[in-house]
Structure 1
Amino acid sequence: MLNSSEPGSFRDALSRKAIARGFDCLGVADPGAIGEAANYFRAFLDSGAHGDMDWLAAHAERRTDPRVLWPAVRSIIMLGVNYGPDEDPLAILQQRTRGAISVYAQGDDYHDLIKKRLKSLARWLVASAGGDVKVFVDTAAVMEKPLAQAAGLGWQGKHTNLVSREFGSWLFLGAIFTTLDLPRDAADTDHCGSCRACLDICPTAAFPAPYKLDARRCISYLTIESKGPIPRELRGAIGNRIYGCDDCLAVCPWNKFAQAGRETKLAARENLRAPALAELARLGDSAFRALFARSPVKRIGRDRFVRNVLIAIGNSGDSVLAEEAERLLTDDSALVRGAAVWALSQLLPRDKFAARAAAAISGEPDASVREEWSCYVVRAFAGTTKP
């Protein structure tokens, strides 16, 4: 068994084992190191900026202090896996008839991959130095980003995401809680300076101030976490983003030091780099599950995904795609039908849309969809169907 009382040799061995298991960086933080981030988090919840993500507030005390989550913890090992893209994530935004899927979701689900690696490293840790362990990867009440900063892996930028001087914006994080008292790493410091690139690029103005996020306006929240219709005033700004958004990550100047990820399972699948909106709009439930097998996209379900696709279709400016929206007016899901109405309101000439609405409203069983029709009929007669 390794002697954990010899900090240098043990830490070197821990780092080697982590790298051998596919991690790209490692640091150790004190369980009480969240500090001021806890106050930011409470203010975030108090303002309601978390939207419908009630699970964030459910165990707030655990998130703000890991010792509440597990009183026995004495050290937190934070680990990162680089998933840097091999092409510009913003380029797809110019291809309006194709869907933009966030870089992290174009490959296999990172949760499964990283959790296996964490468990393997944790087993080695126990066998080598003793103690008890718990592993977490974005699935429990753990504030990974402040802990990663405390462990020296990077800092939380003005967009609230972690930024690394070595890997830019592209790190998946995992944590090993241990009862061992391990040597701490020095916390990283903020290197954003006067840069505002991440704040200024946000299409929906989701950052009311530097280091503050209103999730209710964030495209990642709207296309992934939000279960209902996307607010009308934000639909146009979503563009062709159908699952998540990388704008604030991709524009960060620190990405000049980033490198493409080395894990093939996290690499983009070719059929998810720039999928055609017309093909995605035709996905039924079984085809959706088959296309996104082992992908994080699968968890939002077919209906929410097609809702997103229809918003992108409405933003495409391609009248040919109106046929896909027309077909989905009779979909079993009211969420999909409502999004199809909006897409048509953006693509059809005003007179054609108004005529189509007159035939559809009386037969629509869902009140929210009827309201969607009525809203845009009024706009059409007023001379506009925007937004």
Structure 2
Amino acid sequence: MTKLKVVSIDKAQDGTYSVSYSTAATPAKATTFAQISASLPVSAPVANMDLPDLPPPGAAGPFVHARSIAYKTVLYTDAEGRDEIREGGSRSWRNRNPGNIRKGDFSLNAGAIGDDGSFAIFPDEQTGTAAIIALLKTSKYINLTLRDAVFRYAPPSENNSAAYAAALAERTGIPLDTPLSTLKADEFRKVARRIQEIEGWKPGLIRANAPAALRSTTTSAIISSAASATQDWMDIARREAALPAHERSQWPDPGENPRILNYFKVCSAWFEADGGDEVDWCAAFVNYCLVTSGHMGTDHPGARSFFWKKKGQFISLPKPIPGSIAVRRYAPFSDPKWESGPGHVGFVIAASETTVTLLGGNQSGTVRESVFPLMSKDASGAVTAKFIAFMMPAIM
């Protein structure tokens, strides 16, 4: 597979990524990223995210990391790896961001723990509310009247600023010509509460980041149910594979293909660097297909995370069947937990007594079908790679 070296990684305002990279002379199984952007770090933001062990029991929180993982869905994680999901509701509620404050240096300094691509995500409502007040006390706002502050906070290019200002004045009882510098602490709190109302705080669903109860408790019925749903994720995988080669593959310099970076954005909160500069994207591709088809992924960029199946989101199979997920591990095999080390993961297309055909990403530098032996050995007879797990998503 082609080994690539990144020249630059840029994130656009819409949350997508653009990557420029050049080819390296040495072939490899991974895409090379010599430089990783600050928004896509090379290590897990919470240690337990990158471990096979479950986090300690108990309620989650306080949260230290958050990211948008699907449409109207935000995943929060605490320092021990416990997490919860906010789904639906208003954007301000999902992000615990009552003022819909944009992401950036200010929000990070005000306590933000992530963003949804455009707006900051705060660990709790109190921190988000305090951020509104802190923003209004900055030099950009403090010397403005309430009316002028609203027109800056909610500009006419994006809002009906006049109506916003009138509603804020009516709900707070503070005249629009009042300078913010004259407001008292309780008046700032009142302004923040009313901004939260005007921005449209609407609660949605808070749930665990885990599959719901299975429809059946028998293994055969569970596998049958999962098999019937393979079209969900296989349609996505085949759609990606059907793209022109230029769109689904790693590009040589000076091109840039943000599609692979988008797989990572959906898949996980970080890149996984092997030896400091190599990044596999097979797991990112499989996770992308699962998540965008409405099924749970692993929230991890490595193939071994499917072997872990920490959330109970996969059902083990005795053998590969079309549409199932196949996990291949490379030597060494000494660690039974597989805490680290290389591997590969893809979707099963077909299988024989000696081979498995996978549709996957990072297969010869692209999304394609490839045939893999069930077990590979070197000249001395030592096993260098083997399939160690076949599984299906748990269908709720």
What TM-score results when the alignment is normalised by the length of structure 2? 0.25
More strand per residue: 2
What TM-score results when the alignment is normalised by the length of structure 1? 0.26
State the structure with more CA Rg.
2
More helix per residue: 1
